[in-house]
Amino acid sequence: MLLYKGYLDIEVDPSLDLFEEINYLKKEKNAVILAHYYQDADIQDIADYIGDSLGLAQEAQKTKADIILFAGVHFMAETAKILNPAKKVLIPDLKAGCSLADSCPPEAFAAFKAKHPDHIVLTYINCTADIKALSDVIVTSTNAVQIVESFAKDQKIIFAPDKNLGAYINKKTGRNMVLWNGTCMVHEIFSLEKLVKLKTINPNAKIIAHPECEEKILANADFIGSTTALLNYTKKNEGKEFIVLTEPGIIHQMQKASSDKIFIPAPPNNNCACNDCPHMKLNTLKKIYIALKHEQPELLMEKALLEKAKLPIVKMLELSTKFGL
């Protein structure tokens, strides 16, 4: 069970320069802001570190700050707390969860695991601390293929919670991992029909996709990778146009790094114009200011869970260092 201290909905003087105030509070309190690429552009611009799930965990592990403000979603902040039990971890909005993490409730997963007693459990970092505590090794989209390949070919593996990422890894590695049936609400709703139309209108555009997308989408991609891998691809590739199949927050860094290139966010299969993650987008500059000023909401975790969930995360970080990631 997770515990949260405080939830504040405070009026903020609209004349305040939030950038200035947040920078002042960071210095005064020796706080660091870690932000995921899916955050709004202004949050990315005020962050001390912006990255994918692996980069954020690595940064959390090595920070010397007393306070970590995590601009992302719960499971990311939990990972930072698990790696820094003595530090204060703040989250701007308590409601910033994750549909993928929610698709894997601990009791049901424990029963699933019990049905496969001879399997080890590899779990995508996008899950709750309770699920991490039931896992042998955590993976992210950056290191998943290498971690799976580090086990013997005949090693039986359960992979949870993302079935699309799991199917992608199975295909890449020739393994037959047993997959939990979870998905991300953002990546599962890209429309193949609209993608094909977009490509017809922009024939020179490279299609780049996150492995949380469905197989039918990935089959059309020129490049598949984690958010950091997608960003690096757009920096190095000589193409000038890219159709982006992941949460569009990442486009801010792509555009900053390659101002001469065009990035087209792929549309979902509903009537929405964009495919924002509603959880990630709950965070705002104002909420970050309030959280830093009042040091709430603070993420608190029970010691036993914290210790159990730490083991598979540490294994992942050790393997990532070994692989030079």
| Footprint on this chain of ligand 13P (rule: CB under 6 A) | 37, 52-53, 126, 140-141, 184, 210, 212, 226-227
The residue among 274, 232, 279, 283 whose CA lies nearest residue 253 is: 232
Q: In this structure, are residues 155 and 178 in contact, taking their beta carbons and an 8 Å threshold?
A: no
Q: Residue for token digits 């299609």?
A: 207
- Find the shortest distance in angstroms from Cβ 63 to ligand SF4: 22
With residues binned 3-state (H G I as helix, E B as strand, rest as coil), the percentages for the chain, rounded to 5, are: 45, 20, 40
Partner whose footprint covers residue 185, from ligand 13P, ligand SF4, none (CB < 5 to 8 Å by kind) = ligand SF4
Binds ligand SF4 by CB under 6 A, chosen from 244, 245, 280, 301: 280
Binding range to ligand SF4, per CB under 6 A, among 23-31, 41-49, 56-64, 94-102: 94-102
E strands of the chain, at which residues? Answer: 2-5, 31-36, 49-51, 67-71, 88-90, 120-124, 137-139, 157-160, 178-179, 206-209, 223-224, 241-245, 262-265, 298-301
Binding range to ligand SF4, per CB under 6 A, among 96-104, 107-115, 166-174, 282-290: 96-104
Is the peptide bond preceding residue 312 cis, with omega within 30 degrees of 0?
A: no
Q: What burial letters (b/e) apply to 190-201, b meaning 16+ CB within 10 Å?
A: bbeeebeebbee
Give the strand order in the sheet containing 206-209: 223-224, 206-209, 241-245, 262-265
Q: Using the rule CB under 6 A, is 73 a contact of ligand SF4?
A: yes
Q: What binding mask, one character per residue, do residues 187-226 give for ligand SF4 by CB under 6 A, x or -? A: ----------------------------------------
Binds ligand SF4 by CB under 6 A, chosen from 184, 213, 221, 245: 184
Q: Using the rule CB under 6 A, is 98 a contact of ligand SF4?
A: yes
Partner whose footprint covers residue 279, from ligand 13P, ligand SF4, none (CB < 5 to 8 Å by kind) = ligand SF4
Binding range to ligand SF4, per CB under 6 A, among 128-136, 170-178, 183-191, 313-321: 183-191
- Find the shortest distance in angstroms from Cβ 304 to ligand 13P: 26
Q: Using the rule CB under 6 A, is 185 a contact of ligand SF4?
A: yes
